Amino acid sequence: MSLNIYLPPPAEKVERPRIAQRVAAVCGLAGLVLAWAVLLLPCAVWLLFSLVFNRLQSAPVRQQA
């Protein structure tokens, strides 16, 4: 048994992504980042607010003698 590996001849042109494909990829990646930011930012703000609010509520009241 032998393993045949296809190697293109050196004269064959290698396909490279065009500018439109690159722009579409960058826009898609930016859209994903924006979607995660829109989803996670309110969750992070809510979590921070609830932690601070709970800490303020559970702080013991100091009585002066």
Q: Residues 1-41: pLDDT tens digits?
A: 678 888 777 776 667 779 999 999 999 999 999 999 999 99
Domain-embedded: residue 2? no
pLDDT band at 61 (very low <50, low <70, confident <90, very high): low
Domain-embedded: residue 41? yes
Domain-embedded: residue 65? no
DSSP letter assigned to residue 4: -
Give the predicted TM-score (pTM) of the model.
0.47
Domain-embedded: residue 61? no
Domain-embedded: residue 43? yes
The domain in which residue 45 lies consists of 20-56
As given in the structure block, the two tokens for residue 3 are: 């393993």
Reported as type and span, the H/E element at residue 54 is helix 19-58
The span from the CA of 44 to the CA of 31, in Å, is 20
